[in-house]
Structure 1
Amino acid sequence: MSSRAELLGFNHPDDFAFWSTVGDPDHWPVVIRRDSPQSGPAWVRYDVGIVEFLVRTFHGRLPGNPFSGDDIWRNTSPTFE
């Protein structure tokens, strides 16, 4: 299996979000590389698209916060710059 990724974005403190770009684009999962993982692995794959991933993050409906910071975790009114 080949491994390809496309950068989606990053935040402070340097967590990175990627799409795993193998296969059908409608089914690309989100992969997060956390800069300072408090617990668990630094790399985590979420088998959902980016919109579903963000909605679940905003509502706290993932097994845990995917990011090192709490800026958007359980934040139902996020702002972006």
Structure 2
Amino acid sequence: MLIAWGVSCAADILCWDTSTEDPATWPLLVYNRDDNLWRHYDCGVVEFFVRVIRAEFDDCPLGDLSFWGTSSALFLNEAEQRHRLAQGQDPWTGEPDPYTGMSWS
């Protein structure tokens, strides 16, 4: 049995193969919609995403290349993103935001 736990921006499906009783041994399966193929990865979720970010697989397992080979990742919750914008910073780079104070309405 498969348990779907995630979907990528490209509508790829990320699952665990629960055919064994021990969740620590469940491999990760990815259905890549671009290739129309299921692929098996013997690693956990954290290792999988670290390897995607570091481009350590032969090919990107996901149809969306946004994180492929970025070498590091940044997580911002909504409150921190708003705080950085209010400080005049680009939330993702920390650099001054050239659009600070502009109205888009």
RMSD: 1.8
Report the Cα distance in structure 1 between the residues aligned to 2:71 and 2:4, rounded to whole angstroms. 24
In the TM superposition, residue 74 of structure 1 has moved relative to its aligned partner by: 1.1
Q: What letter matches 1:54 in structure 2?
A: F
In the TM superposition, residue 53 of structure 1 has moved relative to its aligned partner by: 0.9
Aligned to 2:27: 29
Q: What letter matches 2:26 in structure 1?
A: W
Aligned to 1:12: 9
Residue 53 of structure 2, aligned match among 37, 43, 58: 58
In the TM superposition, residue 79 of structure 1 has moved relative to its aligned partner by: 5.1
More RCO (CA 8 Å, sep 6+): 1
Provide TM-score, normalisation by structure 2: 0.63
Deviations 1:5-32 (A, max 9, x none): 1112002221110011121111111100
Larger radius of gyration: 2
Does the 8 Å CA contact 1:29/1:50 hold for their aligned counterparts?
Answer: no
Provide TM-score, normalisation by structure 1: 0.80
Counting matched residue pairs gives: 75
Percent sequence identity is 28
Q: What letter matches 1:5 in structure 2?
A: L
